[in-house]
Amino acid sequence: MSGRLRATAEYGAALALLGLAWWYASGPYGMPPYLLPSPASVLTTLWNMLAAGQLLPHIAFTIQNIVLGLLIGTVFGVLLAYLLFKTPFLNDVLEGPLVVLQTAPKIALAPLIIIWFGLGLTAKIVLIFSLVFFPVFAGALAGFRAIDSRLHDLAQLLRLTPAQRFFRVDLLASLPSIFVGVKIGAIQALVGAILAEWMSGAQGLGYLMTYATATYKTPILFGAVLLTALFGMVMHALLNEIEARFLSWNVPDER
Amino acid sequence: MITIEQIAKKFSGKSGEVIALEPFSQEIAEGELVSIIGPSGCGKSTLLRIIAGLETPTSGKIVLGTSGLKRPVGFVFQDAVLLPWKTVAENIRFPLDTSGVPRSQGDQKVKELIQLVGLAGFENSLPKQLSGGMKQRAAIARALADDPPILLMDEPFSAVDLLTRETLNDELSRIWRKTGKTILLVTHSVEEAAYLGTRVMVMSPRPGRLRKTFDVDLPSPRGEETKRSPEFLDLVAELRTMMREMTQ
Ligand SMILES: Nc1ncnc2c1ncn2[C@@H]1O[C@H](COP(=O)(O)OP(=O)(O)OP(=O)(O)O)[C@@H](O)[C@H]1O
Ligand SMILES: [Mg+2]
């Protein structure tokens, strides 16, 4: 617990230092506001937008896409990994192509995805999905393969049904490994969501960035970047919290 | 109850074939407690795994006279094999949960079993918080949870200290007498084999086969006096001589 407190303190100190440097550069040092707006002007802009109801819809849109993409990507990543784990034939046929796809730069495919899936929500979710799917798939497959063979013996001994095997043994045993994939996927999902909004649509934090750039409203740009970074941090903290709460069985107790 | 008919097992791997068991037959009557001893690698675990259906024999067959029961055997593995994300109590009730036993009924059963194996106070501990012996006791409780007529135990007490081991021996003996289960117990201790068994099967290695079966004619229930009786001491001496011959 004290370790966690210290980590939070260190984190806070680093942020404060960064804020101070920002304030110094934009204030006493005298960077022009269109290059570097002051912290105060950014916060004021954000506040005004919030009060006018112009901010929350964008935030909600981006979060919604990330959560949807993350959920769908995780479910499909885990299911396909389990399918491959359970059917050696599929594993032999699909593993090669999947490795190739996994290494393909999905970000570079973003324009193609937009051509295929249109300018709307679908393309955005598909892009995020493609970014989340592979790390989760890889983590899950590694997890399923690393299950202690004696747990399989136990499942067979207890004559568990296929569903019981999956939900009560295999999935839980691989959860730590799946979670490694989800954590990587979550960061990718954030990148993917912003990128997708840069390219099309008129909603989301990513759109806000392109809009602000095009109209030289630098404080809005900074605000959007700040909010994106903040969201990334919250997501990271949330995932760590989930891990600490539900996967502690996997971590040996300190003695 | 358990009929072993010309069972043999060959493992074939990259480094050639291992004959784990040469064909042998054996009849184990309902309610017997058969101890199995033999040097490391003589196929004791393999035999138990075949009987449990975890391994298919290369030839021969096993007939369990348990009339189509869904889970005829309980198995205590050489090391506990608990689900690491479940508490002790949840692990013990896992066989009940997965066969649809109502919650309240399961709770009652788990409570009894925890008392029985002496884990009171550790109901909510995770496996990682337990010593090897405690894990093994939880595994024994789990094997007993849904009351299988056959209990297969693979060196269940090897991770337990001597005093606890003696207590658990007497506990097992008591459970066996009370429930009339058919029990196969693999052990490395000749004293334990003789003390608990109605019969002792001695196996020899390379290739694994049944060397000899001893009937144990000691009065039941057994206790400290048994361990001092000349019959017991003679049997132990004979078993030990046989084991020594095999390991030389
Ligand atoms: N899955 C397997 N693949 C290949 N060989 C195996 C396998 N399982 C067991 N064996 C071999 O079969 C033989 C018998 O093994 P088994 O585990 O049954 O011995 P054991 O009598 O239980 O030994 P111990 O007292 O050390 O537990 C050994 O030579 C072992 O190497
Ligand atoms: Mg063994």
Tell me the pLDDT tens digit for each residue of B40-61: 989 999 999 999 999 999 999 9
Searching chain A, which residue's CA lies closest to the CA of residue B93?
A158
Cβ distance A154 to B81 less than 8 Å, yes or no, reads yes
Give pLDDT, residue A4: 76
CATH architecture, range A56-246: Orthogonal Bundle (1.10)
- Of A193, A207, A196, A194, nearest to A110 by C-alpha is A196
Burial class of A196 by CB neighbour count within 10 A (0 to 12, 13 to 18, 19+): buried
Tell me the pLDDT tens digit for each residue of B4-34: 999 999 998 888 888 889 998 999 999 999 9
Number of H helices, E strands in chain B: 8, 9
Cβ of A254 under 8 Å from any chain B Cβ?
no
Gap from CA of B41 to ligand 1 centroid (Å):
5
Q: Rounded CA gap, B209 and A74, in Å?
A: 50
Q: Which of B73, B81, B84 lies nearest to residue A249, judging by beta carbons?
A: B84
Indicate if ligand 1 lies below 6 Å from the C-beta of B36.
no
Which residues does chain A have with pLDDT short of 50? none
pTM for this entry: 0.88
- Name every chain B residue with its beta carbon within 8 A of the beta carbon of A152: none
Q: Which atom of ligand 1 is nearest to the CA of B43?
A: 18
| ipTM of the modeled complex | 0.90
- Of B27, B11, B143, nearest to B76 by C-alpha is B143
Nearest protein Cα to ligand 1, atom 4: B11
Tokens of B140: 């024994």
Nearest protein Cα to ligand 1, atom 16: B43
Mean pLDDT for B115-134 is 91
Give pLDDT, residue A61: 95
* Averaged pLDDT score across all residues of chain B: 91
Provide, for chain A, the percentages of residues in helix, strand and coil under a 3-state DSSP scheme, each rounded to the nearest 5. 85, 0, 15
Indicate if ligand 1 lies below 6 Å from the C-beta of B127.
no
Give pLDDT, residue A7: 83
Q: Rounded CA gap, B147 and B177, in Å?
A: 14
Residue A253 has what DSSP assignment? P
Tell me the pLDDT tens digit for each residue of A170-205: 999 999 999 999 999 999 999 999 999 998 888 999
Nearest protein Cα to ligand 1, atom 8: B46
Strands B199-204 and B150-154: unpaired
Domain edges within chain A: 56-246
Searching chain A, which residue's CA lies closest to the CA of residue B130?
A253
- Name every chain B residue with its beta carbon within 8 A of the beta carbon of A162: none
